[in-house]
Structures are given as C-alpha cells and as structure tokens.
Amino acid sequence: MHVDDLLCAFPDTMAMAEWKEALAQHLTVEDKGAPERFLGMDMVWREEQVHISGKSAIISLADDFMINKPAAIPYLIIEDSAELAKIKPFQILVGHLLCISRMWQPDIRYMINQLCARASQPRVSDVRKGCWVIAYLLGTADEEIYLRSVRKMEIDIFTDAGEEKLEKKATTGILVLLGDSPISWAARKQDMMTLSSIETEYIALGAGAQDAMWMAKVMEFLNKPVTPRVWTDNRGASTLSYNLDFHRRTKHIWRRHHFVRECMDDGDISVHWVPGEENPADMLTKPVTGKRLEELKKQAGMTA
C-alpha cells in the first residue's frame, strides 16, 4: 500500500518520536524532515517561523501562458468584449488562479471571484484579465506569508462585506489571523439579497462568528483554549450584535443571522469595531490598488 506524503505537527520532539515508533510497528515510514514544498507552496524554515510563497508555481504558470512582463496591480480595467473565448482554456486558467488565491495569495481573491463568475461563458476580455493577474503574481512572486510561533494564543477574525452595483447579492470577506499570521481567508457571495449595508455587514459578521466557533473547537482540541475576537468596520453591525432592540432597518433580518449574538451571549466570542482603513478583509470584497493594497497586505501578514 502506498500513501501520499503527510504533514504532521507535534507539541514537542518526544511526542513525535513516540508517534513515529508506534506507526513504524505497522507501516514503513520515511521521515523527510521539515517540508520544503507542499501542494505548490514553497516553504522556508527560519528559527521559530516558516515563510510560505509560491514563486516556483507562479513562474511555471507564467511560462505556460507565455507571460513575462510583471504588473503592479491585480486588476485590469477594460470594457467587456463581445467576442467569446474558448471555455476549457479559460477554466484551466481560472482553476490555477483559484488554487493560488486559496493557498497563499489572498490579495487576488476578489479578482478571481469575478473571473469565476464568467467561467461558463468567458469573453476575450476575461482572458486578458486572467493573464493580467498572472502578470501581477509574477511581479509579487517574492512576497511571502509568515507563520510565526506565538507565546500567547490570540485569534482575530476580520469580516467585511462588499456590494457591486450590478450584482444582486453582496460578497462576504473573512480573514483569520493567529497572532500576526494569516491562517485562513475566504470571499463568497451571500445567499440572500439585503436591504441595507448594516444587514450585509451583519451577515458577514455572522459568517465570521461561524469561523470563530470552528477555530475555537480546533484550539480546544489542541489544548490551547482561546476566545476568538471577531472584527467589523461597520458600527451598525457591531452595535446590533450587542443590542437586543430591533428597529425598522433591522427587524426583517432572518433569525439565523443572529448566530453571532448567541455566540456572544455564551461567551464563545467577542465582537469589536475596527476602522475601515485597518480592516485587512477589505481587499477580499472590493478592488484595492496602490498604497492602500500594500497597507492591507501588510496588515494581513503578507510581506516581501
């Protein structure tokens, strides 16, 4: 029987030795040490931190699509063309970019979501936008995500919601930090239409609360209990999570979206307000460029 490589983590070297000894009684095990490459990610270990990037995968992708000029931003602002593109090559392109955006590049997630929405009927302009994202990745290939060891366990979950003028549903963005290190992020369409910005942000806050509960269970399993902090840059959503009184702008919100309040009442999470300029989840829900993009990437734990 052959199995693929596995990543294993242990609290100390003694626990690792015991596990390897027990497993070796039943299977042939090869210890390859600390991983240098895993699922397309390049990993460099330095003291008590690991640097994660995808430089080799990005260069390979750029070669496949014959792109050699870097771009400064991930967004190409052009009008939609009338000419349709071939579906299969476009889906392959978007599939590569979607994997990268999920594994180590949260700063392109918003743009990739826009391209995914065109996967069934792409236009030539969409192909150009996808190739532009590759050019941006080529220009930022040296940037890394740092995963640092921490003495005090703190989990911060930043939430945001973005609305497009031509879209019926808003997008929820969630970024999870363990200390200063990003360990999870997501951007997805909300499953219902909303009537106010408070409602869209409150729904995003509820989604963040769900992630917070899951992270709390993981940390409890690891014997590292922690109370996650969930952040929103909308004061109305933050107030609504504490205030039991409804008013006409929020009385229509479905009960299931008040999950965040129930978590707070049980003491499982805490909810806080953060200024919009200090919310790194902002880049998951709207196009951000220039200095603002660099600031958000730094806040999200991405550095060159």
SS (H, E, C) 208-239: HHHHHHHHHHHHHHCCCCCCCEEEECCHHHHH
pLDDT value of position 11: 77
pLDDT at residue 281 greater than cutoff 80: yes
For the cut 50, the answer to whether the pLDDT of residue 19 exceeds it is yes
Q: What is the mean pLDDT of the chain?
A: 87
Place of tokens 């919009």: 276
Give 172-220 as a DSSP string.
EEEEEEETTEEEEEEEEE-SS--SSHHHHHHHHHHHHHHHHHHHHHHHH
Q: Residues 232, 269: contact at Cβ < 8 Å?
A: no
The pLDDT of residue 165 is 63
Cβ atoms of residues 58 and 64 within 8 Å: no
Percent of the chain beyond pLDDT 90?
A: 47
The yes-or-no verdict on residue 37 having pLDDT over 60 is yes
- Banded pLDDT at 264 (limits 50, 70, 90): confident
| Average pLDDT of span 269-298 | 92
Could you report the per-residue pLDDT of 118-172, keeping only the tens digit for each? 999 999 999 999 999 999 999 999 888 988 888 788 999 999 998 876 567 889 9
CA 106 to CA 252: how far, in whole Å? Answer: 33
Domain boundary assignment for the chain = 53-139, 152-303
What is the band of 202 on the pLDDT scale with cuts at 50, 70, 90? Answer: confident
Q: Which helix (H) or strand (E) holds 248?
A: none
What is residue 116's three-state secondary structure? helix
Alpha helical stretches, state H, the chain: 13-24, 55-64, 87-103, 109-116, 124-139, 197-221, 235-242, 259-265, 290-299
Amino acid in the structure at residue 161 = A
Residue 234 has pLDDT above 50, yes or no: yes
Confidence label for 301 from pLDDT (cuts 50, 70 and 90): confident
Mean of pLDDT values over 53-73: 92
Q: How confident is the model at residue 9 (pLDDT cuts 50, 70, 90)?
A: confident
Please compute the mean of the pLDDT values over residues 196-204 and round it to a whole number.
85
pLDDT digits (tens, 9 = 90+) for 173-198: 999 999 989 999 999 988 877 777 88
Task: Answer yes or no: is pLDDT of 248 > 70.
Answer: no
- DSSP-derived secondary structure letter, 84: B
Please say if the pLDDT value at position 21 is more than 60: yes
Say which residues have a Cβ less than 8 Å from residue 20's Cβ, sequence separation at least 6: 29, 31
Q: What Cα–Cα distance (Å) separates residue 248 from each residue in 195, 199, 251?
A: 11, 12, 6
First to last CA, the chain: 42
Cα separation, 269 vs 232, in Å, equals: 13
Structure tokens at 261: 């309040």
User: In Å, how far are 2, 18, 27, 30, 115 from 24, measured between CA atoms?
Assistant: 14, 10, 5, 9, 47
For residues 175 and 183, what is the distance between their CA atoms, to the nearest angstrom? 8
- Please tell me which residue, 193 or 99, carries the higher pLDDT value: 99
Q: What pLDDT score was predicted for residue 174?
A: 96
Mean pLDDT of 247-261: 60
What whole-number distance in Å separates Cα of residue 234 and Cα of residue 276?
8
Give the pLDDT confidence score for residue 266 in this predicted structure: 85
Phi and psi torsions of 216, nearest 5°: -60, -40
Q: What angle do CA 138, 140, 145 make, to 5 degrees?
A: 125
253 vs 173 pLDDT, higher one? 173
As a whole number, mean pLDDT of residues 199-224 equals 90
Instruction: Provide CATH code, domain 152-303.
Output: 3.30.420.10
Q: What is the mean pLDDT of residues 232-241?
A: 86
Which secondary-structure segment (H or E) carries 244? none
Q: What per-residue confidence (pLDDT) applies to 1?
A: 46
Q: What is the pTM of this model?
A: 0.87
Average pLDDT over residues 236-240: 84
pLDDT at residue 256 above 60? no
